[in-house]
Structure 1
């Protein structure tokens, strides 16, 4: 989860590098516009939170190296969009103003490399350890933030959700209902998918005769790993 935001930026730069001396260079601006438009639809608060909590992206060697496309790299706390989304996430995770303030305080300690985060070992391991192992090792001084970081960075990157949307679309727009226009079909898919997601946080979905009604028992996809920002609240 922590790499999606950075990978998307790199992909746009890599395409720019490939096209710079290519006969299709004149089409780059149009391609970039399409990619940015898609990314704006895909980008969610969780992506920014994962990017901000990945210690690798604060490493000086990483930041000093040019990104694909020749663009200077910036630490997550220097990116206005990322900072705004992280604060939005904390606003949803914290149950009161004290908890929200504590999360901001712990984040500042992490980003400024204070305490354990500033040790030589922590700086070295940020580039060699997995982010989850790193937080498990060095997050003792910021336990609430460490718990959130581990849960967010543990989220798997999968296209299964997109595949399920296509399955839903084929169910709604079929041979017998092929006169539905695209706009109406999209709205029906949106409603169906979101009702399905909302139902997963009800008691009837977790137990009883309708338990996990929408999961194929033969599917190998582990869907229980998905969490909402509100689920990242820590226990007292």
Structure 2
């Protein structure tokens, strides 16, 4: 993603994926505070995607947009992207490479929820492997119920809300799955103690008993509640960053507040005073701090320092009163005239996002264009169609009809939404983390009210 200096010029998000024919493609999306705009997708088939190749694609796109307009290039956190970003910075000193905050948070969640059993990671694995076990149990229950028509029929009698088939590539997949299980708790418990479940005979009796034991195990549910409680602050920050809205200036404060909320949740569960040590929190804290240390940039610091809440030089009463109620960018427009250079810089930075999420949402558009019926389409033809379809779709999101009425958020679920195996497919390209209410409407059997178990 390239962040641009002019409010009328979009910034660009960069992300890679493979189409249905396994052709590697890299998306380039331009975004400003008005919204994202699809620029192009490059077919990298037959190319060695090293730092020089990726850097050349980025610099070519910077040249098309105009280097004087670009503030930052946002990619994921892969080492090759980092190296390519440094090459771009060397060629254009005024442009910053910025890792995607959402990807950074997702990597931290993976380090916590799926700790690797290696010698170098022994302490982390010893403290966190129980989380992996809980997530594995939940996945076993989900697969056992949704992959057999009779079990699924029994489930549907007791639970109105569908389960989710969440890809591992989706951000915060473990948290989302456990949150859904918490919502299903009472229905699952009613199901496994019902006459239908008891009388149902099939070949995997041992697995059926395992499901029943887990669903009726209060300790197992307590562990799920605990996991959700200390991962919720990370998930909440991820949701805020997983938008096209300007939030670069908020990252510093959000990260500090998130770590503090994680600490409070863990210490509350362990019944420890804040002066005591917690080996589990020490591990989680180290993971979060290491991720932040590897991925924070001077741009984060600069944007944070220009946030009106952190500015002390403008001490007149009006500017002080407006800090907490006025949009930061608008605050600088109104109160920053006395420092024109600083004002111009603040207006640029306070309109910047912190993630490349908009480029990832474009994957579903390519999946639509490159369907089974259109699998002979050339990449150039697909790019032209995606350019038109994506930008018309993005333009429609700015209309009033998109926000209310029968056509509200028409493009989220899709006209052909058809859950497989009785599990709602929560795909991050179609449904982002900042649309949970609509996700319940789509996957919750016509938007029925759903009772959430505490």
What's the TM-score bracket when you normalise by the shorter of the two chains? Answer: 0.3 to 0.5
**Rg bigger for which structure?**
2
